[in-house]
Chains A and B, each alone.
Chain A
Amino acid sequence: MFRTAGMRNLFMTPFCLWAGIFIFVPLFCMAWYAFTDESGFFTLENFTLAFDRPYFKALMLSVALALASTIICLILAYPLCLILTDKARDLSTIVSLLFILPLWMNSLLLTMAWQTILEKNGILNQMLRYFSLPDANLINTPTAIIIGMVYNFLPYMVLPLYVSLSKIDKRIIEAARDLGASYMQTFWKVILPLSLPGAVSGITMVFIPALTTFVISALLGGGKLLLIGNVIEQEFVAGYNWHWGAGLSMILMIFIVVNMAVTAFFDTSHEEVEEK
């Protein structure tokens, strides 16, 4: 694309500068805080801290809620994407409208809307009371947090899945049907494996923000449910203990890196299949 290597480097510099200043320098600062104690000496105490009871509990709760909401997103998104990619009707405009539009709105606002809906005297309970049904006590429960996560992150599952499903060559499916595969067999042996990369990147894109969120749990959990994101926020903001906060953030990053490694593995193995 660029005539010389020099040109290419020139065009690369803005990004490299950006990455350097806003990704590597902060990461280095975090690592520095994570591996030192208050007097500046090397320590691993900030990491073992994660196994202290309160922190470990918060971490496990975060993993559990993030897993639950990822699974729910997958279950909701997959059939939806199958319908949307059905070539019988062209629904791509609807997809972009329904799933990209909410992304333009501030997620804080979306979550606060859910607060209004799920509150004790909220919209949902008012509707239930109108029909003389018992109240649903959802606000400040894990369920409320999962609802918030699914609502916020569903588009990140739908979009990659939709892309990978719509990329499947329809002739392959026709061939499978021609060769006598039933609908179910076509799905399990053809469509599902080919959509796997989309599903995996969807899972990553939902699981990681769900694992690290602290806004959704703060707004919908009423401060009664502490996720690891809230703990880290507390350590930085209320506790003024940046070393602990940084140590916990690094632990969280291990989860993220593992998740990304899994994604990368699926991506490369898929490419190999295609090459063969």
Chain B
Amino acid sequence: MKSKKIFAACILIFALTLTGCMSSAEEEESDNVVYVYSWGDYLDPEVLDKFEEETGIHVILDEFDTNETMYPRVAEGAVHYDVICPSDYMVQKMIANNLLQPLNFNLLPNATENIGEDFFRQAQSFDPENQFAVPYCWGTVGIMYDTTRVDEIPDSWTVLWDEKYNDEILMQDSARDALMVPLKILGKSMNETDKQTLNIARDMLIKQKPLVQAYVVDEVKDKLISGEAIMGVVFSGEALQIMLANPNYDFVVPREGTNFWIDSWVITRDAENIENAHKFIDFMCRPDIAVINFDYLGYSTPNIAVQELEEDEEIRESPIAFPDHRIYDGQETYKYLGNSMDRYYNNLWMQVKVE
């Protein structure tokens, strides 16, 4: 009997602590805050300080390292975020699953004024009516190579299958980015859904595997800077950082085509601080803020006012920092292909990795 009472008492205490936690969390929410969920190291901390100073809104920032880790946390409603920064196909997936709310562009004067129209047009491939997303960073994917150790400019994806570079090749470790490369060589879309074509792409990756030194994500930067590999598949923003650290490397976008990617700010359907969220997004689009972020990140910005404000002449004139996006007209952006196709891609990638 006695033990039962103690047990009941403990349950009670436990329940009380839980409700205690909840009520304190609620109190915090009613404060002037905005919950932001963004890529790791994707905002200059100085910008956040400035935002807090000017608006008095406290930013609570969480970070993710892939779109795929971010998605379940938002979809399952485990944590409520106001503003998120997903990539193209993920924005589309979130729209499809009713996780986002349309933006009020009246509250985003800086976005309408400074974000290039061309980028909004490119964004229509995942946000058809430009209702949900404000582009934040964009770029391409290409080959970063050590100019001192190659004979010719590797401006074709096929160079990654060249046995000359055995054990000197770094590939991206994610299903979509990895399969994009053989699909482009085959002259197909990176949003291919024909299983036979996809299987051919998988077989090409399996054939390539012995030549690959490693499948990497963020490590690609360190590995190239230290000269571990001759070439690697990298995102254009990383390319600039690698070149600044190791001038031996150069970046080329292969002629078969590339992925024109855009990361955008969106507001979640369940956002509790909608006004603050708009203020945050608008602040990020202000030219003086965008330039601080750009200097910190090195990723190309869709903000057309930034190039003029950039102080470092070398960077201002660099075609890698400020590429003319028009040469990428007609390049594809990843699309959300539906749940079962997503799974098919992941399974193909798994088959490559266990070989």
Contact = CB atoms under 8 A, between A and B. Distances in A.
Interface in A207-231: 222-224, 226, 231
Contacts of A239: 68, 342-343, 346
A10 interface: yes
Contacts of B353: 54, 223-224, 226
B173 interface: yes
Interface core residue of A5, A224, A239 (most chain B CB under 10 Å): A224
B328 interface: no
A237 B69 contact: yes
Contacts, number: 78
B186 interface: no
Contacts of B6: 6, 9-10, 13
Interface string B184-217: 0000000000000000000000000100111110
Contacts of A139: 214
Given A223-B173, A224-B353, A234 B3 contact: no
Contact of B216 (A121, A222, A237): A222
A42 interface: no
Contacts of B218: none
Given A224-B353, A226-B353, A234 B213 contact: no
A238 B215 contact: no
Contact of A121 (B10, B175, B227): B227
A222 B213 contact: yes
B105 interface: no
A270 interface: no
B346 to A, nearest CB: 4
A115 B71 CA distance: 31
A82 B10 CA distance: 49
Contacts of A61: 354
Q: Is the interface of B mostly helix, strand, loop or mixed?
A: helix
A17 interface: yes
Contacts of A226: 350, 353-354
B350 A231 contact: yes
A224 B167 contact: no
Interface string B1-35: 01100110010001000000000000000000000
A140 B214 contact: yes
A137 interface: yes
Contacts of B330: none
Interface string A94-131: 00000000000000000000000001110000000000
Interface in B64-88: 66, 68-69, 71-72
A259 interface: no
A57 B206 CA distance: 15
A241 interface: yes
Interface residues of B, number: 33
A119 B212 CA distance: 14
A119 B209 contact: no
B213 to A, nearest CB: 6
Nearest to B348: A54
Contacts of A120: 167, 213, 228-229
Contacts of B227: 121
Contact of A224 (B3, B212, B342, B347): B212
A235 B95 CA distance: 23
Contacts of B173: 223
B228 A119 contact: yes
A58 interface: yes
Given A222-B213, A223-B215, A241-B343, A54 B351 contact: yes
Interface in B257-286: none
Interface in B238-263: none
Contact of A13 (B7, B68, B72, B346): B7
A187 interface: no
A17 B14 contact: yes
Contacts of B214: 139-140, 222-224
A240 interface: yes
A137 B167 CA distance: 10
Contact of A237 (B7, B14, B68, B342): B68
13 contacts: A6-B3, A17-B10, A54-B354, A58-B354, A140-B214, A222-B213, A223-B173, A223-B215, A231-B350, A237-B69, A238-B175, A238-B346, A240-B342
Given A120-B228, A121-B227, A226-B350, 11 more contacts: A5-B2, A9-B3, A9-B6, A54-B354, A120-B213, A121-B226, A222-B214, A224-B215, A237-B69, A239-B342, A240-B342
